[in-house]
Amino acid sequence: MSSETQGVRVEVRGIRKAFKGVEVLKGIDLQVDAGEIFVLMGPSGGGKTVLLRQIMGLDMPDGGDVMIDGQDVHREGFRDRVRMGMVFQSGALLNSLTVAENVGLYLSEHRLQSAHVISRIVAEKLELVGLKDAGDKLPGELSGGMRKRAAIARALVMEPQILLYDEPTSELDPLRSVTIGREIRALNQRLGVTSILVTHDRDLACGIANRIAFMHDGKVIFIGTPAALKACTEPVVRSFLTIDFDSSAPVIEPP
């Protein structure tokens, strides 16, 4: 983690959430330290993305609280005090806009800066993710990995204190997944942000996380380091990970 952490602490306290009478989150408690890379993983349907939406403040919980930097995410004015960036699973880039226009869209739509300043900020963020010369391209001209990096650049324009990623390596081959993982870790170390990822990607999670929360059936059944996860004897965890970790897979050295 960066020695100049600007990230924020996240506390999830007894969060419950149901849809159409079906309880999806069943009293989740966890804490994420400032500047940490924290991963939510587990089988589909375990509630990971629903929990991420709670942390973002997009959904109102049925019970419990989410506190970021000591402030309730649903309190009026929260977004003026804590800066958040989101990287969506699909990338969510608009095909009719150039990469640069996509990255600067929030700033330009809300007229938060002059066109000149937005252009400078966009160029900085694209260079930060290795897309210095891609600003004039359309999303359809980019590889899957480049689209993911463009989505990360867009999340960076607001100088976030916390970055949230929903399946950042989905639809990518193993080599490009490793590249994105290294990008996420490098950004976390360079910027000192707090990073929370939802992923099914075992190699990504174990390669970049400081800690991992394993979710199953709306509950957190394990929290610990990647090494502790690999040693976990909980049957659901063992079944998900499989006992034989593939030593031939590309490796991201642990943080």
Sign of CA dihedral 128, 129, 134, 138: negative
What is the architecture, at CATH level 2, of domain 1-83+162-255? Answer: 3-Layer(aba) Sandwich (3.40)
Ranges of each domain in the chain: 1-83+162-255, 92-159
CA–CA distance, 212 with 210 (Å, rounded to integer): 7
CA atoms within 13 A on the CB side of 133: 0
- The pLDDT of residue 81: 84
CA–CA distance, 149 with 129 (Å, rounded to integer): 6
Measuring CA to CA, which residue among 168, 158, 156 is closest to residue 130?
156
Measuring CA to CA, which residue among 156, 149, 155, 114 is closest to residue 135?
149
Residues (pLDDT < 50) of the chain are 1-3, 243-251, 254-255
Q: In what order do the strands lie in the sheet with 63-68?
A: 22-32, 10-19, 63-68, 71-72
Residue pLDDT, tens place only, 186-206: 999 889 999 999 998 899 999
Residue pLDDT, tens place only, 92-106: 788 899 999 999 988
